[in-house]
């Protein structure tokens, strides 16, 4: 950049928020010159480089967070799809997010939270409660394998779309034991699985945005 460059939009900070903002603006305003200013020696070098990269749409105490996370996850899916040609650089999956409790009475709290999230209208789901031999709608609880959304050519959008939304509540010890090995804990009695959730590689997402902006 030199002093004669015309800049339409300046974004201060080259963490994930800044790069994502620049990327989204660039998609909408392709003819504008968007500049990201970073004071560190590299972008994605501060908080974003420490992130675990987990995401979920379950925030039963906040309608705003539920709406924000649903919208964000849908946008991330669009980005994953767009980057599929280059090998799904940020490895988004849908492995879900699991809450575990050793206290059976936690079941009622999870049910209430699920109801609250459902009332926000943005958890597009129903609670599927798998209790003992009872199976929701006759179907056993059978979560997808996180790796299943990838194939040798990258992100499998069609497969991703088939993943369930919503929430599963499980109190069947046999099912829990299969999914939560004794080496983690023997004490789990209740498992609550948020399905619109997973992980992604935050550095990879930043790189995708950066490369798109530099093109």
Ligand X SMILES: Cc1cc2nc3c(=O)[nH]c(=O)nc-3n(C[C@H](O)[C@H](O)[C@H](O)COP(=O)(O)OP(=O)(O)OC[C@H]3O[C@@H](n4cnc5c(N)ncnc54)[C@H](O)[C@@H]3O)c2cc1C
Residues that bind ligand X (CB under 6 A): 12-18, 37-40, 45-48, 50-55
The span from the first CA to the last CA of the chain, in angstroms, equals 15
Q: Closest CB to ligand X among 18 and 171?
A: 18
Q: How far apart are CA 120 and CA 60, in angstroms?
A: 8
Work out how close the CB of 40 gets to ligand X at its nearest, in angstroms, rounded to a whole number. 4
In whole angstroms, the minimum distance from the beta carbon of 178 to ligand X comes to 26
Task: Tell me the sheet residues that pair with 169.
Answer: 129, 192
CB neighbourhood size of 10 (10 A): 11
CB atoms within 10 A of CB 111: 15
Handedness of CA 205, 207, 213, 215 (dihedral sign): negative
- Check: CB of residue 146 under 8 Å from CB of residue 95: yes
> Closest approach of Cβ 197 to ligand X, in Å?
10
- In degrees and rounded to multiples of 5, residue 197 shows phi and psi of -165, 160
- Pick 154 or 206: Cβ nearer ligand X: 206
How far apart are CB 35 and ligand X at their closest, in Å?
11
**Minimum distance between the CB of residue 41 and ligand X, rounded to whole angstroms?**
9
Instruction: Between 38 and 156, name the residue whose CB sits nearer to ligand X.
Output: 38
Query: For ligand X, which is the closer residue by CB, 130 or 209?
Result: 209
135 to 2, 104, 132, 165, 197: CA distances (angstroms): 65, 18, 8, 17, 22
Q: Specify the residue, 70 or 129, whose C-beta has the smaller distance to ligand X.
A: 70
| Nearer CB in complex with ligand X: 6/39 | 39
**Sign of torsion over alpha carbons 114, 120, 124, 126:** positive
Q: In the complex, what is the shortest distance from the CB of residue 140 to ligand X, in angstroms, rounded to a whole number?
A: 30
């Amino acid at each position: 950049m030199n002093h004669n460059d015309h800049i339409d939009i300046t974004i201060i900070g080259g963490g994930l928020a800044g790069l994502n903002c620049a990327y989204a603006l660039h998609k909408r305003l392709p003819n504008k010159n968007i500049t990201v200013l970073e004071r560190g020696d590299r972008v994605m070098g501060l908080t974003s480089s420490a992130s675990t990269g987990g995401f979920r749409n379950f925030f039963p105490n906040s309608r705003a967070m539920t709406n924000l996370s649903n919208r964000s996850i849908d946008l991330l899916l669009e980005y994953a799809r767009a980057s599929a040609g280059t090998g799904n650089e940020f490895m988004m999956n849908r492995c879900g997010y699991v809450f575990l409790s050793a206290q059976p009475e936690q079941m009622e709290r999870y049910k209430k939270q699920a109801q609250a999230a459902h009332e926000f209208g943005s958890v597009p789901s129903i609670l599927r409660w798998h209790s003992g031999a009872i199976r929701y709608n006759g179907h056993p609880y059978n979560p997808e394998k996180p790796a299943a959304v990838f194939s040798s050519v990258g992100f499998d959008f069609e497969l991703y779309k088939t993943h369930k939304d919503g929430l599963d509540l499980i109190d069947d010890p046999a099912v829990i034991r299969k999914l939560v090995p004794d080496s983690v804990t023997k004490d789990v009695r209740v498992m609550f699985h948020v399905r619109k959730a997973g992980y992604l590689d935050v550095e990879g997402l930043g790189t995708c945005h950066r490369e798109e902006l530099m093109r």
